[in-house]
């Protein structure tokens, strides 16, 4: 069919974004388990990649539906729109991964969608509430929730291990960290792979391969989970070093507390269909753990400040980049992209 000329390349770009998501967010899943030397880096990314993929068998599609239907007005979605949103997001994610900045890959996609939608249809083309507004609210809430849970879990873990020997407690939490890392990777897969699946589903609906309101095809879900797992397997090593080593020094108890706090936050968000940032969540959790017992100096706030600046610029940068790409595509008026025979 004619539309395949446009749809297949756009799906491939979407999967490239999904792959880069895994690379940048690999740090979120394994930074603490590497930083505490529980697993060597290569084994850690394989561990995380497996559980990223395993999430496809456990979680539903609430996040995919939010991305596919709840960010922009349905009439806005077409081939140039989806391609523009993806290109802007891919460029930003690659740049930040190259420089070792753990950004919100999720927010880069949402920023790309908002920028392209506003260029195409103005303010009314964006679902500001509850769509973008709820996501913006959780830019603040997700690291706070992760931080509070991380602090509380570290406090409870310290109390529970008070009478145990240092050697025994270290061995215990090294084992527990394997479980908490797997739990976090499940949450990461459930929240992030679905975002790309939702966008691909919206693309298929726009091109009349699916009916409006159709469920996310299983082949789309399965492919997105496989690809994000592969991205995690390769890993963004500079980002992993930033989160696992530079920001604060963790021991197995702290790593377990941070990962468990981040995982609980992600799983709750996935259940309620809220696309949150795994990066924001685990960074907040690590900072919460680092501040236990009044040890504010345990967090390297200069590194944390650079991360927060990257967070704040992600949505506007991707919105601008995607709007520029869409403007260029509209000017070129490529026949195949519009579904017309080349």
Query: What pLDDT is stored for residue 44 in this prediction?
Result: 82
Examine the pLDDT at 303 and tell me if it is beyond 70.
Answer: no
- Segment 84-109 shows an average pLDDT of 83
Per the prediction, the chain carries an average pLDDT of 81
As a whole number of angstroms, the distance between CA 179 and CA 184 comes to 9
Query: What pLDDT is stored for residue 2 in this prediction?
Result: 46
Report the percentage of the chain scoring pLDDT > 90.
Answer: 19
Query: What pLDDT is stored for residue 67 in this prediction?
Result: 84
Report the percentage of the chain scoring pLDDT > 70.
Answer: 83
Examine the pLDDT at 328 and tell me if it is beyond 90.
Answer: yes
Examine the pLDDT at 177 and tell me if it is beyond 90.
Answer: no
As beta bridge partners, residue 126 has 72
227-255 pLDDT, tens digit each: 988 888 876 555 555 555 555 566 788 88
Examine the pLDDT at 182 and tell me if it is beyond 90.
Answer: no
* Distance in angstroms between the alpha carbons of the first and the last residue of the chain: 12
Q: How many CB atoms lie within 10 A of CB 245?
A: 15
CA torsion 181-201-230-35 (nearest 10°) is: -30
Query: What pLDDT is stored for residue 224 in this prediction?
Result: 92
Examine the pLDDT at 47 and tell me if it is beyond 50.
Answer: yes
57-92 pLDDT, tens digit each: 877 778 888 887 788 987 888 899 999 999 999 998
Examine the pLDDT at 340 and tell me if it is beyond 50.
Answer: no
Examine the pLDDT at 299 and tell me if it is beyond 80.
Answer: no
13-44 pLDDT, tens digit each: 999 999 988 877 766 667 677 777 788 877 88
203-213 pLDDT, tens digit each: 998 888 888 88
Examine the pLDDT at 170 and tell me if it is beyond 80.
Answer: no
Query: What pLDDT is stored for residue 342 in this prediction?
Result: 41
Angle between helix 166-206 and 79-98 (nearest 10): 150
Q: With the C-alpha atoms ordered 34, 37, 41, 43, is the resulting torsion angle positive or negative?
A: negative
As a whole number of angstroms, the distance between CA 198 and CA 133 comes to 18
């Amino acid at each position: 069919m004619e539309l395949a000329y446009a749809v297949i390349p756009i799906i491939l770009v979407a999967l490239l974004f999904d792959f880069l998501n895994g690379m940048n967010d690999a740090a979120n899943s394994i930074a603490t388990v590497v930083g505490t030397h529980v697993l060597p880096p290569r084994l850690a990314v394989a561990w995380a990649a497996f559980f990223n993929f395993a999430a496809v068998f456990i979680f539903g599609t609430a996040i995919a539906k939010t991305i596919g239907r709840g960010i922009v007005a349905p009439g806005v979605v077409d081939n140039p729109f989806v391609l523009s949103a993806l290109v802007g997001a891919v460029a930003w994610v690659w740049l930040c991964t190259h420089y070792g900045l753990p950004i919100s890959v999720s927010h880069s996609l949402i920023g790309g969608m908002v920028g392209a939608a506003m260029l195409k249809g103005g303010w009314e083309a964006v679902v500001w509430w509850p769509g973008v507004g709820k996501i913006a609210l959780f830019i603040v809430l997700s690291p706070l929730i992760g931080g509070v849970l991380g602090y509380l879990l570290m406090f409870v873990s310290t109390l529970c291990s008070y009478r145990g020997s240092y050697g025994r407690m270290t061995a215990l939490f090294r084992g527990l960290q394997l479980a908490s890392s797997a739990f976090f990777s499940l949450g990461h897969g459930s929240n992030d792979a679905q975002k790309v699946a939702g966008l691909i589903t919206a693309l298929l609906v726009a091109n009349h391969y699916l009916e409006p309101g159709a469920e996310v095809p299983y082949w789309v879900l399965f492919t997105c989970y496989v690809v994000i797992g592969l991205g995690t397997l390769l890993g963004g090593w500079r980002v992993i070093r930033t989160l696992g080593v530079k920001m604060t020094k963790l021991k197995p108890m702290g790593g377990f507390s941070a990962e468990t706090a981040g995982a609980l936050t992600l799983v709750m968000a996935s259940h309620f269909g809220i696309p949150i940032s795994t990066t924001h969540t685990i960074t907040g959790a690590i900072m919460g753990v680092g501040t236990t017992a009044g040890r504010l100096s345990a967090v390297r706030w200069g590194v944390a400040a650079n991360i927060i600046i990257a967070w704040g610029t992600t949505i506007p940068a991707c919105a601008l980049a995607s709007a520029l790409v869409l403007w260029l595509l509209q000017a070129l008026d490529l026949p195949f992209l519009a579904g017309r025979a080349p």
